[in-house]
Chains A and B, each alone.
Chain A
Amino acid sequence: MRELVRVCLNEWMKLVRRRRLWVASLLGVAMVGLFAYATYHNYQMQQKYNSLAAWRQQLVVDKQRLADLRRQQQHPAKSHAEPGAPDVAQQMQEVQDSIRQLQKQIAEATKSDAQWRQEQAKSVRAEQKSLAQLQAQTAPASGLPAAQHQSDTAQTRLALLSDTYRLTHNVRPLPSGSQDPYTMVMEFTQFSASVFLPLLAVILTADFVSGESTSGTIKLLLVRPVPRWKVLLGKWLVACLATALLTAGLLAVVWLIGCLQYGMHGARQPQVVGLTYQFKHFIASDGSSTDVVIPLLTHAHVLPMWVYLLASAGLEVVAMMVVATIAFLCSTLFKSAMASTAAALGAVVIGFVVTQFLQGSRVVPVLFPTHMNLAANWTGQTAQNLGLTVSLGTGLCTLAVWGVLSLVGAFVYFMRKDVLNA
């Protein structure tokens, strides 16, 4: 045990002095910076066109226009409308619709908590009623109607899950057009999990062993009393630790930037997890086909956003450690650091492309790049994207198999190989 700790200390000492760690960190930080900028840009656009202030401004403009149109209607002689333009009555109708819509939105956003609770309770009751009605119906025995009935029931239940949560925990939806650190982390995970974070994991770990073969220092590691497996285990542990720290660190930085820019709100918003979907495909006798999507709610429950995000950051770390392990296998198989990095990058990029191409194929769930965003597996998003019943369990099992096989491969090869020309 003490020996393993010493091996790990050595690996850490080397890692922090190598350029790769800093390259990966800088790339990560640069990406986070760009992402934060893009988010802020979007936020400003939203504030400009889709916020309480913007609606109020628009309301004033619309009212002014309505008044103008009225005047035109009363003094048609003065109008110099071009031919073909919609007549004044129609225009007035449109403006009035817009005003009504804006007033509704403003009322929604400015109503008191008590008011909101009352309305939320009302809509929950309505959903409960429709659910009861659905259940009271004798369910169709089979075929398309049965599936549709099943789907409707489950969809209503799903809506009830978060609506009830909002009511019992007194969580109002965030105003539209707002931004919060939690959504920001979720979006960052979504867009970086499939390629960018794996890329960093590969840069960081793909030369852990091959780098030493290239420089010849592997000989020095293997002529010591420490057994080979312990040398490799120490390397793997440090590779995983570094990947985990980098991944968690980047997510934490995104969250911090979010907190600084938008404040800390949004932590208690509900998030349904443990969800997956079933997909049924029906072909009618006239040849037309219908797809029915049925949410599977057996394990579904609601978590507050901050718990969900902590857990999903953990899941992301696990996924990246699996990528690191695959890169680590490449680094034991190849003697050149270049070759092993290229092979690991190839696995990640080609894997990603293949999962995009083969959407809907049965092979996709067993490929590791499918499950790079495990949090999306958890919320059922991956299942919806793929059109296949894929759950968090599927993702974890698949990644576990890839990870274990890679690790076993690395150990078996490393234990047996002769170091002849390093």
Chain B
Amino acid sequence: MSVLTLEGVSKRIGKRWIVEDLNMTVEDGEVYGFLGPNGAGKTTTIRMIVGLARPTRGQIRLLGQDVWRDRRQAMSALGTIVENPEVYSYLTGRQNLLHYARLAGLGDAPKRIDEVAEMVRLKDRLDEKVRRYSLGMRQRLGVAQALLARPRLLVLDEPTNGLDPAGMREFRELMRALAKQGTSVFVSSHLLSEIQMMCDRVAILKGGRVVGEHTVADLTQAATGRVRLQVGDVVAATGVLAAAGWSDVKTEGQTLIVEAEQSDVPRLVRALVAGGVDLYAVEPQRESLEQAFLELTEAQGVESMADNRSVRGGEQGA
């Protein structure tokens, strides 16, 4: 059974349709990425999934239960962070977790609190006021709070904001471990590398519509018809290639990028060797998720430069 299904979900605020006709399913034990440029509607969608906002049209089901009509059953299967992990800064970490445990109706709260604190490595600071936590520690507390009630589905909106590289890696490993134990994860992000390393499938959202749903493997394995060559003498190599009929050559330092099909590679290598060029490496160029993402979102023709730049900026920032 699928853990989360969205059927024709649309949301209108005022006169604007923020998201339109979303259809998605998240399966058991799957890590599902939700990717989109700023303002695409990711947070709005997530707010509808977790029952904070009501869809104008369509239906959202968690474990087969409607989020609005069978709220109790639906919500007991859910753990979530929406945008920033909000915490009560005047309470200690433990009191924060106790607060959520009470709302979740957890029976063995104290034991479970220690368990999740251990999971997110917050155990030694748990009895301090949250006011004194760093951003990353708050993030961890947010994750702990989401994991507290042993959810079947985690819905996370940009959960790695503010984590250091080690923290991010820990977080990824935690997500993968949870997925292995059967927890599904629905995670939005504009950190493409993040999604690439963590997710099984990814939906790309653009202007409130899903413009593609792919497995991450499909997106990144596709050959691009380009070959990267690392050579000793760039000028000589370019000359040899031109003579052999490959005139479309780009140069990046000691690397040449040549438009060539996979089947042409042997012929190309023979030509270079015959021409006396020192050849250090040959590899087919794979598409990165970033390129796939940009192609998919730009294919719609309405993407603004500002949006692109901020997406790239986000990745560099990480």
A contact residues vs B (CB 8 Å cutoff): 3, 6-7, 9-10, 13-14, 17-19, 215-217, 219-227, 418-420
Q: C-beta contact mask, B67-80 vs A, less than 8 Å → 1, else 0?
A: 00001110110101
Whether the pair B103, A224 counts as a contact (CB closer than 8 A) is: yes
- Stretch from B86-94, B184-192, B253-261 forming part of the interface with A: B86-94
- With both beta carbons as reference points, the residue of chain B lying nearest to A224 in the complex is identified as B103
**Cα(A6)–Cα(B105), bound, Å:** 8
Minimum C-beta distance from B122 to chain A (A): 17
Provide the residues of chain A in CB contact with B53, threshold 8 Å. Answer: 418-420
**Cα(A234)–Cα(B38), bound, Å:** 37
Which 6 residue pairs of A and B lie closest in terms of their CB atoms, listed nearest first? A224-B103, A216-B86, A418-B53, A419-B52, A6-B102, A225-B75
Given known A219-B82, A227-B71, contact A3–B105 (CB-CB < 8 A): yes
Given contacts A6-B102, A14-B91, A225-B104, 5 further A-B contacts (CB under 8 A): A17-B95, A225-B105, A226-B105, A227-B71, A420-B53
Provide the residues of chain B in CB contact with A216, threshold 8 Å. Answer: 83-84, 86
**Cα(A189)–Cα(B301), bound, Å:** 71
Q: Does B150 contact A (CB under 8 A)?
A: no
Minimum C-beta distance from A5 to chain B (A): 9
**Cα(A226)–Cα(B100), bound, Å:** 11
Q: Would you mind naming 21 contact pairs between A and B with Cβ atoms under 8 Å apart?
A: A6-B105, A13-B98, A14-B88, A18-B90, A215-B88, A215-B89, A216-B83, A216-B86, A217-B86, A219-B50, A220-B100, A223-B51, A223-B52, A223-B80, A224-B103, A224-B104, A225-B75, A225-B105, A227-B72, A418-B54, A420-B53
Q: Among the listed B50, B72, B83, B91, which residue makes an inter-chain contact with A223, where contact means beta carbons less than 8 Å apart?
A: B50
Provide the residues of chain A in CB contact with B105, threshold 8 Å. Answer: 3, 6, 225-226
The dominant DSSP class at the B interface is: mixed
Given known A221-B103, A224-B100, A225-B72, contact A420–B47 (CB-CB < 8 A): yes
Whether the pair A10, B52 counts as a contact (CB closer than 8 A) is: no
Q: Does B302 contact A (CB under 8 A)?
A: no
Q: Does B45 contact A (CB under 8 A)?
A: no
**Cα(A220)–Cα(B54), bound, Å:** 17
B contact residues vs A (CB 8 Å cutoff): 13, 44, 47, 50-54, 71-73, 75-76, 78, 80, 82-84, 86-91, 95, 98-100, 102-105, 145
Whether the pair B51, A420 counts as a contact (CB closer than 8 A) is: no
Provide the residues of chain B in CB contact with A19, threshold 8 Å. Answer: 90
Minimum C-beta distance from A235 to chain B (A): 12
Whether the pair B71, A225 counts as a contact (CB closer than 8 A) is: yes
Provide the residues of chain A in CB contact with B145, threshold 8 Å. Answer: 220
Provide the residues of chain A in CB contact with B73, threshold 8 Å. Answer: 225
Whether the pair A10, B103 counts as a contact (CB closer than 8 A) is: yes
Most chain A CB atoms below 10 A, which of B53, B72, B88 = B88
Provide the residues of chain B in CB contact with A418, threshold 8 Å. Answer: 47, 52-54
Whether the pair B102, A10 counts as a contact (CB closer than 8 A) is: yes
Whether the pair B87, A224 counts as a contact (CB closer than 8 A) is: no
Minimum C-beta distance from B67 to chain A (A): 10
- With both beta carbons as reference points, the residue of chain B lying nearest to A2 in the complex is identified as B105
Provide the residues of chain B in CB contact with A221, threshold 8 Å. Answer: 103
Q: Among the listed B78, B86, B98, which residue makes an inter-chain contact with A220, where contact means beta carbons less than 8 Å apart?
A: B86
Given known A7-B102, A219-B52, A225-B105, contact A17–B91 (CB-CB < 8 A): yes
Provide the residues of chain A in CB contact with B82, threshold 8 Å. Answer: 219, 223
Provide the residues of chain A in CB contact with B54, threshold 8 Å. Answer: 418
Provide the residues of chain B in CB contact with A220, threshold 8 Å. Answer: 86, 100, 103, 145
Provide the residues of chain A in CB contact with B87, threshold 8 Å. Answer: 217
Given known A6-B103, A215-B86, A226-B103, contact A13–B95 (CB-CB < 8 A): yes
Provide the residues of chain B in CB contact with A226, threshold 8 Å. Answer: 103, 105
- With both beta carbons as reference points, the residue of chain A lying nearest to B79 in the complex is identified as A223
Most chain A CB atoms below 10 A, which of B44, B50, B53, B102 = B102
Minimum C-beta distance from A365 to chain B (A): 41
Most chain B CB atoms below 10 A, which of A6, A19, A221 = A6
Minimum C-beta distance from A54 to chain B (A): 55
**Cα(A215)–Cα(B105), bound, Å:** 24
**Cα(A18)–Cα(B89), bound, Å:** 10
Whether the pair A223, B78 counts as a contact (CB closer than 8 A) is: yes
Q: Among the listed A13, A222, A227, A420, which residue makes an inter-chain contact with B99, where contact means beta carbons less than 8 Å apart?
A: A13
- With both beta carbons as reference points, the residue of chain B lying nearest to A5 in the complex is identified as B102
Provide the residues of chain B in CB contact with A17, threshold 8 Å. Answer: 90-91, 95
**Cα(A226)–Cα(B102), bound, Å:** 10
**Cα(A222)–Cα(B83), bound, Å:** 14
Provide the residues of chain B in CB contact with A217, threshold 8 Å. Answer: 86-88
Provide the residues of chain A in CB contact with B98, threshold 8 Å. Answer: 13
**Cα(A227)–Cα(B87), bound, Å:** 20
Given known A217-B86, A220-B145, A223-B75, contact A419–B47 (CB-CB < 8 A): yes
Given known A6-B105, A13-B91, contact A222–B86 (CB-CB < 8 A): no
Provide the residues of chain B in CB contact with A18, threshold 8 Å. Answer: 90
Minimum C-beta distance from A405 to chain B (A): 25
Most chain A CB atoms below 10 A, which of B52, B80, B83, B100 = B52
**Cα(A217)–Cα(B24), bound, Å:** 28
Provide the residues of chain A in CB contact with B51, threshold 8 Å. Answer: 222-223
Given known A215-B88, A217-B88, A420-B13, contact A225–B52 (CB-CB < 8 A): no
Provide the residues of chain A in CB contact with B103, threshold 8 Å. Answer: 6-7, 10, 220-221, 224-226
**Cα(A226)–Cα(B82), bound, Å:** 18
